[in-house]
Chain A
Amino acid sequence: ACSTVGGPAGQSAAPDTGGGEGPKVAFVSQVEGVPYFSAFKEGAEKTAQSLGMSYTQAGPSTADATEQLRIFNSLVQQGYDAIAVSPLDPRSMNPAIAAARRKGIVVITSDADAPDSERQVFVQQASDAALGATVMDEIAKAMGGTGEYGIVSGAADTQTFNSWVAEARKRQESTYPALELVGGVRYTTDTAQALKEAQDLMTAYPDLKAIIAVPSTAVPGVAQAVQNAGKAGKVAVSGFGSPRTARTYVESGVMTSTVLWDVPNLGVLTVWAMKQLLDGKEFAAKNTVPGLKDPVEYSAATTTLVMGPPMVFTKANIAQYDY
């Protein structure tokens, strides 16, 4: 039942340093086991197999930068050929990435970046700006363009959440001046706390018309709070939850939509990128990736592969995605 022990059966139990069956690649997630990263793994594993590589995925049990570093180092120790990482804390990962590169290991970032590091490429799901703007658009649409809204975010020091929130607010200030953020950004660490914060927001601001739930832990909490308060339809909810997390609420009408990207495809792209680098190949401005419909753009200036625009999941399409 342990999702972190990857690779074909029998291989991870007794890893052979001689390396018989092609390169070993790994991905270090931000936390282990959450549906989001499980979906990532699904795409990644499939691709690794088809490219003749073995794939492992691991992550800390809570979003803990030190733990993540430990996991990264243990993979280096085990002689992996390529490692992709979604750093919780870019800076602390830098030295470890440099050390791994010195050992000749291919290191890339995916899902989140460490811009100042020696990583070879960053595989980006969608730009922060696009994500922030999309969720703001969704909320504004549901609110009819005016009124008060709140934001329930995750841990205060998670870079990704903070930049999404910043981008969403930028979008609101530029495009929807009639909307007003009330109560500041509420930071939470888990679903139950998100529930309480959302409930208190609704009490403190009776005219509240919408809430953005940022991390996937907050999504069910905020939705549940709205449901408990009997305000489904009166207070709109959107956020960055995986379809499976949000599905119950989207289908029951508590959530208007949830914004994300095609997560399995991100896994596909990540593994493909590692393979390219292992083979010593360069990225083109537009790359055709087996398994992905659209070509993937590469920006040489920022050494970034961008998968494409965000996806919006609504009642109409959410049932098709199982992650």
Chain B
Amino acid sequence: MTTTTVPSAFAPSARMLVLLRNALLPILLVAEVIFFTVAAPGFLSAANLANVVINSADLALLAAGVTLVVLLAGIDVSVGPMLGVVAWVGATLFVAGMPPPLVVVISVLLGGALGAINGGLVVGGRISPIITTLGTAAIFKTVLFILWDSTDVFAGPVVPALGPARAGGVPLVGLVVLAVFGVLAYVLRHRVFGRRLFAIGNDAEGARLLGVPVGRTSFAAYVLVGALVGVAALIYVGRVGVVQATAGNELTLPAIAAVVVGGTSILGGEGGVLRTLGGLAFIALLQNGVVLMGVPPLWNGVLVGAAVALAVAFDVLTRRTLDKRIGAKK
């Protein structure tokens, strides 16, 4: 069998192009950092970067979870309200004097259980992920409202690693986030569970034909999202110090934004958590830099919206051009 490829005399090797394709997001990030270093005083200080890390740590874990289900060609728009519920329970137990390790365990279990509700409805009830999680998001909001009962819960960090604490200027939550992303990246690439997520996200029916346990794997992914939300909830408590009626609601859209800006395909089966981390860093640094630049507050949204659109346009369009040259005709 013969394939026709017409080699161009001065084309860079396909390997280089592939490399470049994957380096686009890092390049954008570097450009962003350079820009703000010049334009915004105080941006590149250790203290500021640590702040950014601390303020985005809970979001990062949510985004990691959302990545898993987006890889499955699913979605979870309930992560924000879910975080609120777990945060309330965690904070309340902690304030009531429960030993911190136990609070951590219970939060993770509770998150996992809430995730299992989503997973059960999606897998067992065969409801599409978007309907399921739109519905449970609304339910979680109400649950938190009822639990909260007009009383804010004030609580400090449950354990230092889940609060704003730093060791030698390095925020401890940053390490937690890195560890979680590292493990997830490893799982996605090197464990069968991870490979199954990709296969299902590409074609669930096809995966089923090849003996991939589609239901079980999908269910596990939603549970895992919940467990990550459980950890994120405690980070939220440690950071914000108070749980109110709408805690966490604001985090859903940014979490999804981080995933898509990172370049994980919303169609499923393509992307990964490290890309999400890049996307998150891009957005978080952008929001921070814009404030430090002294942009009038109301203009923030304009700049952030425009920058995200431009960045994605650049990323997608360049990648597409490169793909063509690599020979991935479509």
Binding site for B on A (CB under 8 A): 1-3, 33-35, 38, 61-62, 156, 183-187, 189-193, 195-197, 199-201, 203-204, 206, 217, 220-221, 223-224, 227-229, 244-245, 248
Contact = CB atoms under 8 A, between A and B. Distances in A.
29 contacts: A1-B149, A33-B148, A34-B150, A34-B245, A35-B150, A38-B150, A61-B141, A62-B246, A183-B291, A190-B244, A192-B250, A192-B251, A195-B55, A195-B239, A196-B55, A199-B51, A203-B42, A203-B45, A203-B47, A204-B41, A204-B292, A206-B42, A220-B152, A220-B241, A224-B241, A224-B242, A228-B164, A228-B241, A248-B154
Q: Name the prevailing secondary structure of the A interface residues.
A: helix
A192 B240 contact: yes
Contacts of A248: 154, 241
Contact of B239 (A33, A228, A245): A228
Contacts of B45: 203
Contacts of A217: 244
A191 B152 CA distance: 11
A152 to B, nearest CB: 10
Interface of B: 40-42, 45, 47-48, 51, 54-55, 141, 145-146, 148-152, 154, 164, 236, 239-242, 244-247, 249-251, 287-288, 291-292, 294, 296-298
- For B236, B241, B298, the residue with the greatest tally of chain A CB atoms inside 10 Å of its CB is B241
A197 B313 CA distance: 28
Given A195-B239, A227-B241, A245-B152, A187 B297 contact: yes
Nearest to A197: B291
Contacts of A35: 150-152
A156 to B, nearest CB: 6
B154 A220 contact: yes
Nearest to B55: A196
B242 A33 contact: no
A223 B240 CA distance: 9
Contacts of B239: 192, 195, 224, 228
Given A228-B239, A244-B152, 12 more contacts: A34-B150, A183-B294, A192-B239, A192-B251, A196-B287, A197-B291, A200-B291, A201-B291, A204-B291, A224-B242, A228-B241, A245-B152
